[in-house]
Amino acid sequence: MTRVEVAAREVRITNQRIRSSGFPYVKGLADFDWDFQPSVPRAEIEELATLRFVERAENVLFVGSPGVGKTHLAVALGIEAVRAGREVRFVDCARLVEDLEDASSRGILKKRLKYYAHSRLLIIDELGYLDVGSAGADLLFQLISTRYEQRSTIITTNVGISGWGRVFGDDVAASAIADRVCHHCHLVKITGRSYRLKDLPRDGPVKP
């Protein structure tokens, strides 16, 4: 193979890995409008994009209301990790819990936990949009415990840690999960307007 062919092949493999990682869309940091969301700590995000946090098995927690860019930033970091040859899995929190519950009922929980525990970077999106329930909380706890200090996890959530008791329906389970997520964690709180509503006037939709 010529050098051009080798390069083309690498691009193909990377694109294939990006497709199979489960991202809801493909957007990078270059697509992020920093001026629109000044509460996002740009230097910290750019430091995260060096992937040192992945080498150190640290976590990242994006907290903020809908549309502020949590998933976009998580996807962007995930794509950086894929480009660097790391195995990345992106999964919606409700779907993850559903999948683990299903595996548990079919007696293949261990195998399924292994599958998620294995990724160098696991992105759990939208924690808190749906309540998890105590069986789900227990399964999530098992997964987070396996990854603790071994592998990085990025979580996006619209619920601050103090509200996780409600999400998991159980304060003890919630603090056990939060404890492991938050030890060695980069907490990024984003406040501001939803990018989805950016074209609406600031005082709300125009009345007909």
Task: Give the interface with Mg ion as residue ranges (CB under 5 A).
Answer: 71
Name the one range near ligand ADP by CB under 6 A: 29-37, 48-56, 89-97, 163-171: 29-37
- Minimum CB distance to ligand ADP, residue 5 (Å): 33
Question: Could you write out the DSSP letters of every residue in 79-122?
Answer: HHHHHTT--EEEEEHHHHHHHHHHHHHTT-HHHHHHHHHH-SEE
Smaller CB separation from Mg ion, 37 or 71: 71
124-163 footprint of ligand ADP as x/- string (CB under 6 A):
--------------------------------x-------
Provide the strand spans (E) within the chain: 59-64, 88-92, 121-127, 152-157, 185-190
Residue in 27, 26, 38, 72 with CA at minimum distance from that of residue 196: 72
CA–CA separation, 112 and 23 (whole Å): 19
Instruction: Establish if 90 lies at the interface with ligand ADP (CB under 6 A).
Output: no
Contact 63, 188 (CB under 8 A): yes
The three-state secondary structure class of 177 is helix
- Minimum CB distance to ligand ADP, residue 125 (Å): 7
Name the one range near ligand ADP by CB under 6 A: 30-38, 52-60, 94-102, 140-148: 30-38
- Minimum CB distance to Mg ion, residue 158 (Å): 8
- Which residue from 6, 11, 13, 33 is in contact with ligand ADP, where contact means CB under 6 A? 33
Long-range contacts of 158-161 (CB under 8 A, 24+ apart): 158/63, 158/64, 158/65, 158/66, 158/70, 158/126, 158/128, 158/129, 159/63, 159/127, 159/128, 160/63, 161/63
Partner from ligand ADP, Mg ion, none binding residue 37, C-beta < 5-8 Å depending on class:
ligand ADP
Instruction: Establish if 68 lies at the interface with ligand ADP (CB under 6 A).
Output: yes
Partner from Mg ion, ligand ADP, none binding residue 168, C-beta < 5-8 Å depending on class:
none
Partner from ligand ADP, Mg ion, none binding residue 69, C-beta < 5-8 Å depending on class:
ligand ADP
Q: Which residues bind ligand ADP (CB under 6 A)?
A: 27, 31-33, 36-37, 64, 66-72, 156, 195-196
